[in-house]
Amino acid sequence: MTRLLLAFVLVLLAGNPRCRSGSDTYPEQRIAIRGVLAGDEGDCPTLRDHNGVVYALVGDTGQYKRGDRVCVKGWRLESSECARANVVKVDWIGLARWCP
């Protein structure tokens, strides 16, 4: 009986897809990035991390400006008005030392 119940639970878990939060965001793609605000690409500010990867930021970057070391928490987007492949919708921005 216990084995049958365990098998049933495993089948339910295997068939349950991850929930989507909105049309263009996915829970497993929530990220935190530490880097330097590098400039603009089109209408979007950019952030360069310590590996040189550039992210286009969609949303409000507050009072922070080019050259500031910041931490951005947000959602990786599949598409945006920005031309970059790495696009992040800003959920929160603060000083780099506040990054996890």
Burial of 44 (0-12, 13-18, 19+ CB in 10 A): buried
Nearest 5°: the CA angle 43, 49, 53 is: 70
Residue 90 CB partners (closer than 8 Å, separation 6+)? 57, 58, 59, 60, 61, 72, 73, 74
Per-residue pLDDT of the chain (100 residues; tens, 9 = 90+): 666 544 554 444 444 343 333 445 455 588 999 999 988 766 789 999 999 999 999 899 999 999 999 999 999 987 777 766 788 999 999 999 988 7
pLDDT at 77: 87
Give the pLDDT confidence score for residue 83 in this predicted structure: 67
**Class (C level, CATH) for 18-98:** mainly beta
Q: Read off the pTM.
A: 0.68
Q: Is 69 helix (H, G, I), strand (E, B) or coil?
A: strand
pLDDT at residue 4, rounded to an integer: 52
